[in-house]
Amino acid sequence: MNTLAISQLSTLRWAFDDDVHAYASRGFKGIGVYRPKLEDFGVERAVDLLAESQLAVTSLSWAGGFTGSDGRAFEDAVVDAVSAVHDAATLRAETLIVLAGGRNNHIRNHAKRTLCDALKEIAEVAEEFGVRLSIEPIHPGCGNEWSFVNDLQSTLDIIEAVNSPQLGLVLDTYHVGMDEEVVRWLPDVIPYLHLVQLGDARHSPLGEMNRCLLGDGCVPLRTILGTLRDYHYRGPFEVELIGEDVETLSYDELLDHARDFTAQALGRVEQN
């Protein structure tokens, strides 16, 4: 059975414990933890609260920035990622999400080498602690400063180059789901797939991330879910809702809709 979770980015203004109580009370079984919230609340307190609420940690977001695009030196970004690995291990997180960093005026091959060097170093620590790492490809229309890894092919190339059993990927339907080829790619992707994030939008990403309610946009969510079922994906699904199109709704409304949509969509997938 796939764990159904909510990313804390969906309820960004709430405190950590508010998130946990709201998600658990609606029947979600998992939580995508956002590191700034975790740091504010405290790791040990979080472990106790999550155990009490019986919420699994489907992801920890995020480590990365190895190309210097966020102003950090390579070594500082690696040290931060290792710290995130330790936290992920303490939380027993399904995976630690990794964002590559923007190109930062590097040629693409140099940016790729830099990322692979970082991942090889971090993967050694991750293997020691039993933590999986997941590269997330980000749509270039809304995330060039966050990642030069923008599609499934380049993500698989990096996974192959690093060649670590700890390394896989996150498939966020907001970032890659509008690609008409995504369903064709899924059989190749599923062996490396640690997490599926569910997002929708009314148009291709351009500028700030702008997700709409699930089912209200252009992403063929039910087709993607059906294909994942057909190829026996058993990992977690994590809903992520953020952007102008959902800002007018209360967090309670967002969570209720996410619960109802996923119950219907995933139930329909199971029945087919």
**How high is the pLDDT of residue 268?**
55
**pTM of the shown model:** 0.95
pLDDT level of residue 271 (50, 70, 90 thresholds): very low
Q: What percent of the chain has pLDDT over 90?
A: 86
What average pLDDT does the chain have?
Answer: 94
Q: Strand 133-135 vs strand 96-99: parallel, antiparallel, or unpaired?
A: parallel
Backbone Cα Rg of the chain: 17
Does residue 7 have a pLDDT over 50? yes
pLDDT in tens, 122-171: 999 999 999 999 999 999 888 778 899 999 999 999 999 999 999 999 99
pLDDT in tens, 169-183: 999 999 999 988 899
**How high is the pLDDT of residue 272?**
43
216 vs 103, more confident? 216
Buried b (16+ CB within 10 A) or exposed e, 26-46: eebbbbbbbbebbeebeeeeb
Q: Into how many domains does the chain fold? A: 1
Does residue 44 have a pLDDT over 70? yes
Do the beta carbons of residue 14 and residue 247 sit within 8 Å? no
| Domain of residue 263, residue span | 4-271
Q: Is the dihedral of CA 40, 45, 49, 51 positive or negative?
A: positive
**How high is the pLDDT of residue 97?**
99
pLDDT in tens, 69-79: 888 999 999 99
List Cβ neighbours of 264 (8 Å cut-off, separation of 6 or more): none
List Cβ neighbours of 230 (8 Å cut-off, separation of 6 or more): none
Strands (E), 92-139: 96-99, 133-135
pLDDT in tens, 86-133: 999 999 999 999 999 888 777 888 999 999 999 999 999 999 999 999
CATH number at residue 13: 3.20.20.150
Q: Rounded mean pLDDT of 36-52?
A: 99
Among all chains, which residue has been given the structure tokens 């997002």?
199
pLDDT in tens, 217-264: 999 999 999 999 999 999 999 999 999 999 999 999 999 999 999 999
pLDDT level of residue 59 (50, 70, 90 thresholds): very high
